[in-house]
């Protein structure tokens, strides 16, 4: 088997290739950076295909439909008006589901929208309850003032 074309490797630095064992037929492959990587005879340590970008596209396509869209933690945090730390806490609490591709982490776009919508509805309910409470208090004060006026004896001249 010969390797043709460019090999894409995500999240690797040039220095990390020196000790990396690759699953390829030829004993040595020359990388664009000038470093070489050798085959691991004892087994596959790392799967490398000629097009990892294509692998990511397939992964994203499959999970996109399941999750209702995928967004990064930073985008989710911005949408919800929260910090990325809070997004990670929500994942640990089970409020959001995390999808991983290699070292990249995503959350469901539809889950974020649902949480944001639910929080907005809760805020509106609280505001409405507060307005009704304040309105009822003002109405009671007006009635009390009217009663107080009606119970006072007329002023004599």
Report how far residue 71's alpha carbon sits from residue 20's, in angstroms, rounded to the nearest whole number: 31
- Distance, first Cα to last Cα, the chain: 117
pLDDT of 92 reads 92
Nearest CA among 61, 75, 65, 59 for reference residue 107:
75
Domain 53-148 is found in CATH 2.60.40: no
Domain spans, the chain = 1-50, 53-148
Report how far residue 39's alpha carbon sits from residue 44's, in angstroms, rounded to the nearest whole number: 9
pLDDT (tens, 9 = 90+) of the chain, 157 residues, equals: 333 333 333 333 444 443 343 434 444 444 444 444 444 444 333 444 445 567 777 777 777 777 778 888 888 888 888 898 999 999 999 888 888 888 888 888 888 888 888 888 988 999 999 999 999 999 999 999 888 888 776 676 6
pLDDT of 95 reads 87
Report yes or no on whether pTM surpasses 0.85: no
């Amino acid at each position: 088997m010969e390797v043709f074309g460019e090999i894409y490797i995500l999240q690797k630095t040039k220095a990390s290739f020196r000790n990396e064992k690759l699953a390829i037929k030829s004993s040595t492959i020359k990388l664009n950076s000038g470093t070489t990587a050798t085959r691991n005879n004892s087994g596959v340590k790392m799967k490398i295909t000629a097009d990892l970008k294509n692998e990511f596209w397939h992964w994203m396509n499959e999970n996109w439909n399941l999750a209702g869209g995928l967004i990064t933690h930073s985008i989710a945090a911005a949408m919800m008006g929260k910090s990325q730390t809070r997004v990670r806490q929500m994942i640990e609490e089970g409020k959001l589901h995390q999808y991983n591709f290699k070292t990249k982490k995503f959350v469901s776009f539809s889950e974020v929208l649902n949480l944001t919508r639910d929080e907005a509805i809760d805020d509106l309910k609280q505001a409405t309850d507060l307005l009704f409470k304040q309105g009822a208090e003002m109405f009671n004060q007006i009635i009390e003032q009217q009663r107080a006026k009606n119970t006072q004896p007329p002023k004599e001249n």
